[in-house]
Structure 1
Amino acid sequence: MENGLTIAEVSKRANVSRGMLSKIENGLTSPSLEKLEQLANALGVTLSRLFHDYDTPKSGAQYVRGGEGMEVVRRGTKSGHTYNLLAYDTGPKKLFEPFLISLDEESEVFDPFEHAGTEFIYMLEGKLEYTVGDQRYILEPGDSLTFDAEQPHRPEAKLQMPIRYLAIIYYDSLDDFNQE
């Protein structure tokens, strides 16, 4: 169709009967590599181009509008802590979880977290003292922090409100994710 060719013209150019071409097109027969190459040549494309979009998901993106991330309760969630999961239902090989975390004036103190994976934090708003292991970090907008999440870690002190940050947990394997 892209080249303005009819089935009869492709059939003639590829030296393949119209019946056979119809069977190939409808998946009723498996053509040889030689036949596929003849068809590609008749269409003026490479053999690899014939398979370019084969088995490609129609939409490879997940769009979550601002303020519409799924609110979740994670182990250790306290009053005044809001977790919005920004990607979900991504299939059986889900290896990361991105959260938008908001803390307000009434936010309770966190107990230390320890879980599988690597965690990345990116500060969006406010000022926060964050502890990883025995180290303390002051996080301000634009700052980031990456660490092995099996170390004890937590927001230690709210220094300037409101506080919002991204926390992305990357799991090294599917087994790590399933343990959460």
Structure 2
Amino acid sequence: MLSDTLSNELQRYAIGSRIKALRLRKKLGLVQLAGHTGLSPAMLSKIERGQMFPTLPTLLRIAMVFGVGLDHFFTAEEEPLIAIVRKEQRLKLPSPPGGKHPAYIFESLDYPASGRRMEAFYAEFPLDAPPSEPHQHGSAEFIYVLSGRLVVNVNGKEVALDRQDAIYFDSSVPHNYRREGEAISTAIVVTSS
């Protein structure tokens, strides 16, 4: 059984309606498509109505009938990109993974957007969090502190940020974070490649 998050992500691709559009364009009925693919008309109907998600081999059989590649079902429509992430859909990911006391816990705020030029995260720095390990990536990072106090070390220079403070820096140099004070710290972190 698929989780709600996975199900919502698969719904976003509208694979069933794309299959139906291809079928109607070729003027094929479900029984005719079933004959070409070796799949049952009932299964094809469930896929088209979004009640069932096809496996990749099943989708490939359908794609071959219409002479399209698998990418046909996964490329974005020619509409402006809009990606919405509801609070309950976000996954909490500790950094480093698997540690008893992560330096921070982050949640991606834009994971459904394909080809994004930046990544946005909600980050939480717990009370028992050690400083994060120095790391470097991409070309730029922006942090906006929502609550608490966060100390950011960029290439050996430390800056303390309080609620509603912000910092922009070159993230290709070593940097790390640590929570300071009596409360947890939370922030919005945006990185670019």
Alignment TM-score, normalising by the size of structure 1? 0.56
What's 1:104 paired with?
126
What's 1:89 paired with?
112
- In our comparison, the structure showing a higher alpha carbon Rg is 1
Show CA shifts across 1:66-92 (max 9, x none): 354232355x4552421100011322x
Aligned-partner residue type, residue 137 of structure 1: V
Q: Does the CA contact (< 8 Å) of 1:128 and 1:156 recur in 2?
A: yes
2:122 and 2:182 mapped to 1: Cα distance?
17
> 1:109: how far off?
2.5
What's 1:61 paired with?
82
Give the 3 Å change call, closer, same or farther, for CA 142–64 of structure 1 in structure 2: same
Q: Within the alignment, does 1:158 sit opposite 2:167 as a pair? A: no
Aligned-partner residue type, residue 130 of structure 1: V
Percentage of matched positions with identical amino acids: 19
1:160 and 1:117 mapped to 2: Cα distance?
32
Structure (1 or 2) with the greater helix fraction: 2
> 1:118: how far off?
0.5
Q: Does the CA contact (< 8 Å) of 1:129 and 1:159 recur in 2?
A: no
1:117 and 1:73 mapped to 2: Cα distance?
23
> 1:113: how far off?
1.2
What's 1:70 paired with?
91
Q: Within the alignment, does 1:147 sit opposite 2:161 as a pair? A: no
Structure (1 or 2) with the greater strand fraction: 1
1:161 counterpart SS class? coil
Structure 1 gaps, min length 5: 1-25, 27-54, 172-180
Aligned-partner residue type, residue 70 of structure 1: L
2:189 counterpart SS class? strand
2:111 and 2:133 mapped to 1: Cα distance?
26
Q: Does the CA contact (< 8 Å) of 2:148 and 2:181 recur in 1?
A: yes
Give the RMSD, CA atoms, in angstroms: 2.3
Q: How many residues align?
A: 115
Alignment TM-score, normalising by the size of structure 2? 0.53
